[in-house]
């Protein structure tokens, strides 16, 4: 009996696979090494919510590129269906889809990523955010009736990049947090010496703290 492998989780390396796409064959995550990438699945081509999502992703494509982030779509449709659908989007919505879409008609990629709903034969609506070291940083799932918020996905990329660069945590609704605006959280102190250091940093005006375990900086 074939061993059933569990779906990847946050913190795991994105599984290696070769996929067929509208831009030719791609090796994941190898071909995106050194870049962030977002792999997002949709239930099927020529479906209303998915069509609005693809247009929305494309409208933000330049912003993703500025963040060193690539986009990859996925469904269990065949590649010719993807090609016809993107052609329809271009002709009817004046939007050319510039990123690749994975064709997965036998569902092997979707099954490996845990994207086949147990009560359906279609791909669920999910998002994998993967960093330049091929580590999965976030996994999001959406119901069929609710389209994704692309601006929130961009916010997540910016937050992850800030975390990777500075080792800080990101508060709720950043960069428009209700308490501290665009300031970020310094990780809580883990020992007495760090507590003393934090208090001195606050006295010197380097950081602001509500207490030693809740400190912010620009």
- pLDDT 10s digits, 144-190: 899 999 999 999 999 999 999 999 999 999 999 999 999 999 998 99
Q: Are residues 99 and 135 in the same domain?
A: yes
- Name the nearest CA neighbour of 140 among 103, 27, 152, 132: 152
* pLDDT on residue 123: 84
Q: Residue 23: its pLDDT value, please?
A: 98
Single out the residue of 54, 69, 57, 74 nearest to residue 115, CA to CA.
74
Residue with tokens 């090796």: 27
Q: How far is CA 184 from the centre of its chain?
A: 20
**pLDDT of 120 above 80:** no
Both 112 and 38 in one domain: the answer is yes
For residue 199, pLDDT over 50 is answered with yes
- Please count the structural domains in the chain: 2
**Host domain of residue 185:** 168-218
Helix axes 150-166, 48-59, angle to 10 degrees: 50
Indicate if 129 and 191 belong to the same structural domain.
no
Measured CA to CA, the distance from residue 162 to residue 12 in angstroms comes to: 20
Domain boundary (119, 148, 177) is at 148
Looking at 28, 38, 39, 50, which residue is catalytic?
A: 50
Q: What is the pLDDT of residue 119?
A: 63
**Residue 168 has what pLDDT?**
97
Can you give the CATH number for the domain in which 179 is found? 3.30.1020.10
pTM above 0.85, yes or no: yes
Note the pLDDT tens digit of each residue in 124-151. 899 999 999 999 999 999 998 999 999 9
End-to-end CA distance of the chain: 55
Residue 6 lies in a domain: no
Q: Does the active-site annotation cover 209? A: no
Q: What does each C-alpha distance from 159 to 35, 146, 147 come to in angstroms?
A: 15, 24, 22
């Amino acid at each position: 009996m074939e061993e059933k492998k569990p779906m990847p989780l946050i913190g795991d390396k994105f599984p290696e696979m070769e996929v067929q796409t509208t831009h030719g064959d791609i090796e994941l995550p190898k071909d995106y090494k050194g870049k962030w990438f977002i792999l997002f699945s949709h239930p099927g081509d020529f479906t209303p919510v998915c069509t609005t999502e693809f247009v929305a992703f494309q409208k933000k494509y330049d912003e993703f590129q500025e963040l060193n982030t690539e986009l990859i779509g996925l469904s269990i449709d065949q590649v010719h269906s993807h090609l016809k659908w993107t052609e329809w989007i271009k002709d009817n919505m004046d939007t050319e889809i510039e990123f690749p879409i994975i064709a997965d008609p036998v569902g092997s990629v979707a099954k490996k990523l845990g994207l086949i709903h147990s009560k359906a034969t279609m791909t669920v609506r999910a998002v994998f955010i993967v960093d330049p070291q091929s580590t999965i940083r976030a996994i999001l799932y959406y119901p069929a009736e609710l389209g994704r918020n692309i601006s929130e996905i961009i916010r997540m990329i910016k937050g992850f990049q800030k975390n990777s660069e500075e080792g800080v945590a990101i508060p709720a609704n950043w960069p428009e947090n209700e308490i501290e605006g665009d300031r970020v959280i310094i990780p809580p102190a883990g020992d007495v010496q760090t507590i003393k250091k934090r208090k001195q940093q606050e006295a010197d005006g380097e950081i602001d703290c509500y207490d030693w375990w809740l400190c912010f900086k620009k």
